[in-house]
Each structure stands twice: as structure tokens, then as C-alpha cells.
Structure 1
Amino acid sequence: MSVVFTCLDADTLGGIQQVTHTLAQGLAGRGHEVHVIGLRRSPAPFRYVQRPLYHQHVIGRPAENALARRLANGRLKRLFADVRPGYAIMTSPSVVARVSALLPAAFRPIGQYHGSYDHARGCWHLASIRRHYPALDQAIFLSEDDAWQFSEHALLPNARALPNPLAEWPAEMSVLETPRVLGVGRLEGVKRFDRLISAFARSDAPPPWELHLIGDGAELDRLRAHASHEGVADRVVFRGLVPAAAMPAEYLAASILGLTSEHEGLPVVLLESGAHGVPSVAFDVSGGVRSTGPVLVPPGDVDAFAAELGRLMGDEEERRRLGADARARTEAFRLDHVLDRWEQMFAHLDR
């Protein structure tokens, strides 16, 4: 049977897209016929897999009027009609709302949600999940905690936990001696790198400790100004975009990872850093974050975050202990283990 992933846009730089292409390549490598569909074309396409073993499709353009939407829906239905029957995995509430009614009866509808229950209930996502997900064959969430909360509070009888996968398992671990805190992600408001900069400044980190931020986005100039305001402009290094192939070296050169996002599901950056034995400090914003084992801080508490950063900066032995624990926890998220769980779910749906 085929496996079809549908995203709002499949080639934007983002966590949902990275996970989708990782799963698609992994399942295709196990002999499944796999398709990845983007409902609209990304204005800045990003290539996740250099030699994909799966099929990729784009249905429409970013700006859609009613006529364009009808035409795109027709193209989508024809595409599904040309694909062998199988499993249709819709990667967000907006995709489920649009696509589930268009699926042929031969496809088993599966809805993912890449956020947390707490985030969903704070926006329109929870109402959409309550409306559309109960009719699906399976509703997938990123942690056991989130799956339970959706089951209990959104009355979903079909909730199941399937975590994000770690695409590569590194052979090396960081020696945790470089005086560097790492932040990785889009420089956008939701990632709240301003809080990470403030925490770094308040941690009283002595030189030569630096904060390196990897990523690009609309907040770059504001974050530069914020670093200057906090008095650490000379020790906050904005690295810009780093190719995926070069990221292992970045983790090996780091001693602590900081995650100060407003909300997260199960961030791949915590998996990647943990696999390299790098301990992390994170706001406690989801079951997915908790499942990776970082040092947890109450959401938004910058002073508490600064205290934990300072503690780890000053204690190499504790960094090593937490780094080893992070690598051990991350073992469960290795791609082969996660693919096994996907295939177990497919077998369960077919019984």
C-alpha cells in the first residue's frame, strides 16, 4: 500500500517539513511507495533530501482565490486517484480540514498534529482538531502526554503518540569543553531568541563564553539591537543559515543548547543536540520537550533560565552527566525505531 504525506507547503524551511521528508525517505527506503504533496508552492523552496526515493508533487500557488482553490482540489483528487490505495497522512489541522473530504474511500485518513495540547487550546487548532480528527482512522501526536491530553480533553478516541524521528545517529559526542551556548532555529518571534539572549546576559557567563545563534529570519536586526541593549553584543554571534550537512560540527563545538520558544511540539533540535551528547536548557512548554530530558524551566521565566545556564557553564562534570543522559534518551528517537512504530500503526489499522 502507498503512503501519502500532505503538507500545506512541503518545501518551506520548517520542522513539519523536515520531519515529513525524513519519514518519507525512511519509509521509501523500506520499500513503501511514498508521495509527499505540497498544497501550495513555497516561495523559497528548501531541499531536504538530495536523492529522494519518494515522489514529490505541488498542487497550487501560495495565493489562491476561490477558482484557484477549486482547480487545485480537482488536481489533488486526480493525483490521489492515480496513486495506489493506502494511507493518507495529513500533517496539520488546516490540511485535515481541506483534504479529508477529498480522499478516495480506498485511503485510510491519518491526521498529525506537530504542536502541543497547551498550544492547541490557546488558538484555533483545538476547535479544528475536535471538529475534524474524530472521524479519522488515527490522530497522531508527538508525545504520550499530549496524546493523553487530546484524548481526555478533546474527546478523541483515536489518539496515538508517534514522536519525531532523528534522521542521523552521530558517531561522535561533543567533549563539552568549548565555551559556547548554541541556539538553533528561525529568527522569528515565536522562537523568542530575545529571551535566550537575555538569559545569557543575566547568567553572568564569564568570557570566553559565547552564544551562537544559527538561523535567519525577520527578527535578525531586532535581536542584534537586543544583544547590544543587554551588553553582550560582542559575545552573541549570529551565524546565519548553516547547511544541514554542517550541523553535526556545530553540535560538536557546543557545550549547552538553549531553547526558549513560546511553544514547541517535539523540536528536532533537542534530538540532534542530545544525540551529540550536548545538554540543553528549555522552557517546559510541551510533553514533547519533556520527553527529550532537558533541564526544564517554567515557561517565560528568564531569570530561572539564566540561573540554569550559569550553573551548567560553571560545572563541566554536570554537563557531561546531563549530556550522556541526553544521548541515552535520544536513542528511542532514532529513525529506525520511529519507522518501526509507523509500520506497527499501519498494521494495527489493517487489522
Structure 2
Amino acid sequence: MSGGRTGTVVFACMDADTLGGIQRVTHTMAQGLAERGREVHVIGLHRAEKPFRYVERPRYTSHVIHRAPVGRLSRLGRRRERRALGGLLREVGPGFAVLSSPSVVTRIGGLLPERLLPIGQYHGSYEHARGSWHLGSVTGHYGDLEKAVFLSEQDAWLFSEHALLPNACSIPNPLPVWPSRTAELTARRVLGVGRLEGVKRFDRLISAFAEACGRPVPGGAGAPPDLAAARREAGEGWELHLIGEGAERGRLLSHAAECEVSDRVVFRGAVPAARMADEYVGGSVLALSSEHEGLPLVVGEAASYGVPSVAFDVSSGLRSLVLDGRTGVLVPPADVTALATALAGLMASAEERRRLGAAARAHVEAFRPDRVLDRWEALFDQVTR
């Protein structure tokens, strides 16, 4: 098989159409490689409960193996899966199979024909893998693949050293687009983007936002009276817009009421991918309060529109996006008061928002779709030499 831009690329996910970072990256890469002339297939082992459309006019082919959402499979279900995957994979041409997670590697890796060279991705951080079953699975299975791709150089090094992976390398996730317009950063709006699920800890973001606006936070020490008064003045008119949907919505509504910011927290629900540009342009700060992340795409997307971020420092992937004090602000994980202080500082200073936002946009040019796809093409060439 020749190198360059020939050869099929198959992307495989547990489900390919859920609203999530892995899925967004998969569809961005699939469309980009298809536009470069490759035959591309996206396989979802399961159908999403609420399918989300990432690309309006895909130039790749999508497949769903099971109509049911992700869950335990019966013995009959596993046999059907092997039969369906076997038939599908026999029909595609020679090339590469990009397996998006440890679960996908164990489900599909052994079914790949020799003409599809397996490449494993891991979208989390080494810190998160070490605290879960992921590290054992990556250690046990990724070494048998052609390449194991991680999100940052530090993650690749840590997996190489501690999981003994000689095939580890790093390629960051691509931004969906590189925008021509940027935010003015004058709107009094903080953005929180992601699924309303426990791991995103939007409850901590709501608490931090309330504290940044000088409101008392239940169970917290609260800011000194003079600082609280100054924050109330600087935070006048600011809103927190949560973009996404999920099971935590009711609890988060209640928490906003407890923090006395029900009038300031706007639950936007899921926003179509095609309209997210308007959301970023209409924001002035992005806040990330997750317990763990790999390389959070929303931070890179915001930066591409010139919007700076404040975030809990939870992974090396995040640190590759946010250079603390230069392109945004990082604070210790789970430190709500520190997050509130960082938010308050940016809410109070348009000049600081513009300084960090301009630097953030310049920094994330490395994550432009064309540049990341070039790195994947170089990896494909390397694998086939």
C-alpha cells in the first residue's frame, strides 16, 4: 500500500453520535480526511439515545452496529456484533482502523483484517487513566497496535514510561473549524459548555460564578464584605450560560437557586454544532470545572474565537491548551474559591480578557484542523513505511 492520501480510514467508537468530545473529534477528522480524498467510514457500535448531527453534509459513510444504546450485550448480541463487523470490515479497502477508546480496542481489535492497520487513541489523561481501569486496559492492549496516540507529549511520555508502550506518540485533537471572526469580549457572559453530567461539575461552576458576583455561597466561607461588595459591582449584569443537556439539569437548577443566582444562570440546552460559532462570539469568558478531562475541545474552540478560559488544572492536555497567566487562568482542581477569584478578575477587566484572548487564539493555531490532519497523514505514512 502506498503512503500519502490513499487508503481507507475507519473510525470506530462505542457510539458515534452522542453529544461529546470523542464524537466531535471523530466526525471532524472523518470529514477532513474525506475531503482530502480518502475513503472514510465511521462505525458506532451502539446507537446514541439522542443522536447529534456534527456534519451537515458528510463525505464519509456512517454505520451503526446495534440499535440499542451502550450497555451490556447478551451472548447472542456479541455474536451478532462479530458477524456484522466482520461483514462490514471485509467490504472496506486496505488502510487504517482508528479505535477511539480502550473499550473499542477490546471489542474490535481482534476482528480487524490484516489490511486494516490498528491505531489506538486515548482521549483521556494519564492522571485519569491511573485512577481507573483504563490504565490496565491500555497497558494490556495498546502495545499490540501499530500506534498508540495520546493527546499531549507529556501524556505520551507518561504512558510510554509507566504502561511500557514503545509505540506511544501524541497528536492533539483538531478544532472543528478555524474561524475568521472573533469575540469582542464586551458581552457580560460566562460560558459553560458540555454535557450536564456529574463529571463536568457544573455545580462547582455555579458556586464559583455566584461567589464571583459577590453572592453568598451555601456552605462556603464567603468573601470578606469589602471584596464581596466590589465583586457585586463588577459582576452587575453578568450571566452564566450553560450550553448542553443531561441528567444533572434539575439538580443544577436547584443549586443555582440555593446560590441566589437563578436569575443569572441560563440553561440553553443543546445547541446545534452549526450555531456554536455565535455562542463563542457572544461570550467573554469560558469556564471549565470538570473533575477530569483529556484535551477539552471547548477550551480550544473558545480560544480560536479569542475567548480566554479559566479552568481547574486537571490534565496535561488542558495545560497544552491553557498557558496559565498567558492565554488563560488555571487553578487547583476542585478549588471553587480560586475559580471564583479567577472569574471575578476577568469579569472585572475587559483589558485582561483581550490580552489573554488574543494570546489564546495565537496559541491554538497549532490545533487548526489542517495542521492536525497533516500530523495524522504523517503518522499513516510512518506506519506504512
User: TM-score normalized by structure 2?
Assistant: 0.89
After TM superposition, the structure 1 = structure 2 runs for residues 187-336 of structure 1, keeping only pairs within 5 Å, are 187-203=196-212, 204=214, 205=231, 206-293=235-322, 294-336=328-370
C-alpha deviations, 1:35-85, integer Å up to 9, x for none? Answer: 111112222222211111111111123353111111111110121111111
Q: Which amino acid aligns with 1:100?
A: G
Output the CA distance in 1 between the equivalents of 2:195 and 2:48. 16
The one of 21, 24, 49 equivalent to 1:15 is 21
- SS at 2:257 equivalent: helix
Aligned residue in 1 for 2:227: none
Q: Is the 8 A contact 2:209 2:343 kept in 1?
A: yes
Aligned residue in 2 for 1:44: 50
Output the CA distance in 2 between the equivalents of 1:136 and 1:207. 54
Offset at residue 313 of structure 1 (A):
1.1
- SS at 2:263 equivalent: helix
Q: Which amino acid aligns with 2:26?
A: T
Q: Which amino acid aligns with 1:287?
A: S
Q: Which amino acid aligns with 1:340?
A: D
My pick for the range that moved more, 56-65 or 14-23, is 56-65
Output the CA distance in 1 between the equivalents of 2:185 and 2:66. 46
After TM superposition, the structure 1 = structure 2 runs for residues 143-222 of structure 1, keeping only pairs within 5 Å, are 143-203=152-212, 204=214, 205=231, 206-222=235-251
Aligned residue in 2 for 1:34: 40
Aligned residue in 2 for 1:347: 381
Aligned residue in 1 for 2:10: 4
Aligned residue in 2 for 1:56: 62
Output the CA distance in 1 between the equivalents of 2:105 and 2:367. 25
Output the CA distance in 2 between the equivalents of 1:177 and 1:60. 47
Cα RMSD over matched residues? Answer: 1.0
Aligned residue in 2 for 1:99: 108
After TM superposition, the structure 1 = structure 2 runs for residues 129-140 of structure 1, keeping only pairs within 5 Å, are 129-140=138-149
Offset at residue 310 of structure 1 (A):
0.8
Output the CA distance in 2 between the equivalents of 1:232 and 1:190. 22
C-alpha deviations, 1:140-192, integer Å up to 9, x for none? Answer: 11111111111111111111111111121111111111111110111110110
Output the CA distance in 2 between the equivalents of 1:99 and 1:253. 42
In structure 1, runs of 5+ residues without a counterpart are none
Offset at residue 12 of structure 1 (A):
1.4
- SS at 1:35 equivalent: strand
Aligned residue in 2 for 1:90: 99
Output the CA distance in 2 between the equivalents of 1:278 and 1:40. 35
Offset at residue 271 of structure 1 (A):
1.2
Report the identity percentage: 62
My pick for the range that moved more, 134-143 or 196-205, is 196-205
Aligned residue in 1 for 2:219: none
Q: Is the 8 A contact 2:96 2:117 kept in 1?
A: yes
Aligned residue in 2 for 1:142: 151
Output the CA distance in 2 between the equivalents of 1:14 and 1:318. 30
Q: Is the 8 A contact 2:53 2:273 kept in 1?
A: no
Alignment size in residue pairs: 351
Aligned residue in 1 for 2:4: none
C-alpha deviations, 1:2-47, integer Å up to 9, x for none? Answer: 1000111111111111110110000000001111111122222222
Q: Give the ranges of 4+ consecutive aligned residues of structure 1 lying more than 6 Å apart after TM superposition.
A: none
Output the CA distance in 1 between the equivalents of 2:118 and 2:273. 32
Q: Which amino acid aligns with 2:309?
A: S
Offset at residue 256 of structure 1 (A):
0.6
Aligned residue in 1 for 2:325: none
- SS at 2:172 equivalent: coil
My pick for the range that moved more, 40-49 or 275-284, is 40-49
Output the CA distance in 2 between the equivalents of 1:4 and 1:243. 25
My pick for the range that moved more, 59-68 or 310-319, is 59-68
Output the CA distance in 1 between the equivalents of 2:92 and 2:113. 10
- SS at 1:238 equivalent: strand
After TM superposition, the structure 1 = structure 2 runs for residues 68-79 of structure 1, keeping only pairs within 5 Å, are 68-79=77-88
C-alpha deviations, 1:252-304, integer Å up to 9, x for none? Answer: 11111100011111111111100010010011111111111231111101111
